[in-house]
Amino acid sequence: MTQRAFARVIDLEHVTVRDLNQALHDLAPDTNATNWQVLNPRGRHALAVGVDAEVTIEIAGHAGYYCAGMNKRATVLVDGNVGVGAAENMMSGLVHVRGDASQAAGATAQGGMLVIDGNAAARCGISLKGADIVVKGSVGHMSAFMAQAGTLVVLGDAGDSLGDSIYEAHLYVRGTVAGLGADCIEKPLADRHRAELHAKLQQAGLAGQVEVAAFRRYGSARKLYHFHVDHADAY
């Protein structure tokens, strides 16, 4: 990774993750320390968590569990793979993973965007609450389980039980879907959905590279919102 001019460099060979996160938490609202580089992450957990500042943080290597969790306003770029729960409970900002993501990427995320250049494992976007997730590869089984709001865009394939017990999140998949979860069905791709999908692809830097018409949309059949004995076997 090319070192940015005037970036503050944190080398985790010499300081702890706690030191890194504390320095990011201590930033003043009007800080001019807006560019950060994290060297030698080597799969360490909880990197750049709970950041609430308009800064750009570049992590030069693989990250472990909960990278950029609870992110708010920051742009976090990971030049590698991430472990379980990347961008978990993100509120706003951008998290861009330039590799693959393990399970539960974007879990419970309420705002902002998570972009994954590679594949995401099982339960991507579990309990999604309003954020947007774009996966350029494929996602594993049970992705968007109980997703309440937001969007999940998958350029590759989706594993089994996609959207199980989904609420009002919008799912767009370009490849094949191994199977749909309880109460998840394919839905028409109307003009307003095409516009939404185009906007998400544009935001992820994919405008003009991907054909919107190639996607299929999935969402809730709305049969499980309230318990009904006729649908008991679906719970």
Q: How do residues 130-153 score in pLDDT, each as one tens digit? A: 999 999 999 999 999 999 999 999
Q: Which of 103, 71, 62, 69 is nearest to 88 (CA)?
A: 69
Residue showing tokens 């944190």: 10
192 vs 230, residue with greater confidence: 192
Distance CA 173, CA 157 (A): 7
HSE-CB at 113 with a 13 A cutoff on CA atoms is 17
Q: What are 139's two structure tokens?
A: 């996602």
Q: Which of 124, 231, 103, 235 is nearest to 169 (CA)?
A: 124
Given a cut of 90, is residue 223 above it in pLDDT?
A: no
Q: Which region holds residue 180: left if phi is over 0, alpha if psi is between -120 and 50, else beta? A: beta
Residue 235 in contact with residue 224, Cβ under 8 Å? yes
pLDDT at 229: 62
Residue 158 in contact with residue 135, Cβ under 8 Å? no
Given a cut of 90, is residue 100 above it in pLDDT?
A: yes
Other Cβ atoms closer than 10 A to 189: 15
Given a cut of 70, is residue 234 above it in pLDDT?
A: no
pLDDT at 166: 96
Share of the chain above pLDDT 90, in %: 89
Distance CA 87, CA 128 (A): 11
What mean pLDDT, rounded, does the chain reach? 94
Residue 114 in contact with residue 90, Cβ under 8 Å? yes
Strands 216-220 and 184-187: antiparallel
pLDDT tier, 7 (very low <50, low <70, confident <90, very high otherwise): confident
Q: How many residues does the chain have?
A: 235
This prediction has a pTM of 0.94
Residue showing tokens 């793979």: 81
Distances (CA, A) of 182 to 107, 153, 157, 162, 179: 19, 20, 19, 9, 10
pLDDT at 19: 97
End-to-end alpha carbon distance in the chain = 48
pLDDT digits (tens, 9 = 90+) for 55-98: 999 999 999 999 999 999 999 999 999 999 999 999 999 999 99
